[in-house]
Amino acid sequence: MYLTATVKQDLFSKHGFAKKKTDTGSAESQIALFTHRINHLTDHLKTNKKDYSTQTGLLRLVGQRKKLLNYLQRNNIERYRAVLTDLDLRK
């Protein structure tokens, strides 16, 4: 599988602005994980254009990430801006 435990730990330690590097519940960690999965599925769909079930899953992930970004924007604008710059997202 493309997403092993070590890859997840690297994602959480690099992009998580939490108290510990094993904190998987923070919004920043979840957004980083969603972004990694979205990039992987986007690459998959470039080669497999007719994979509609993957396309549906990709749209669902994008929606979940958008909800988390909106939550961060409402509650803590500094963390929101830090996530956008760290993950190179545009909003």
Predicted local confidence at residue 73, as pLDDT: 95
Predicted local confidence at residue 78, as pLDDT: 92
Q: Could you tell me the residue ranges of all domains in the chain?
A: 26-87
Which residues of the chain carry a pLDDT beneath 50? none
Predicted local confidence at residue 18, as pLDDT: 60
Tokens of 22: 């094993």
Please check whether residue 58 is in contact with residue 35, taking contact to mean a CB–CB distance below 8 angstroms. no
**Continuous H helices in 1-91:** 5-15, 27-47, 52-75, 77-87
Angle in degrees, CA 42, 88, 47, rounded to 5 = 15
Tell me the CA distances in angstroms from 30 to 38, 49, 50, one per residue in order.
Answer: 12, 27, 28
Domain range 26-87, CATH architecture: Orthogonal Bundle (1.10)
Predicted local confidence at residue 6, as pLDDT: 87
Predicted local confidence at residue 9, as pLDDT: 83
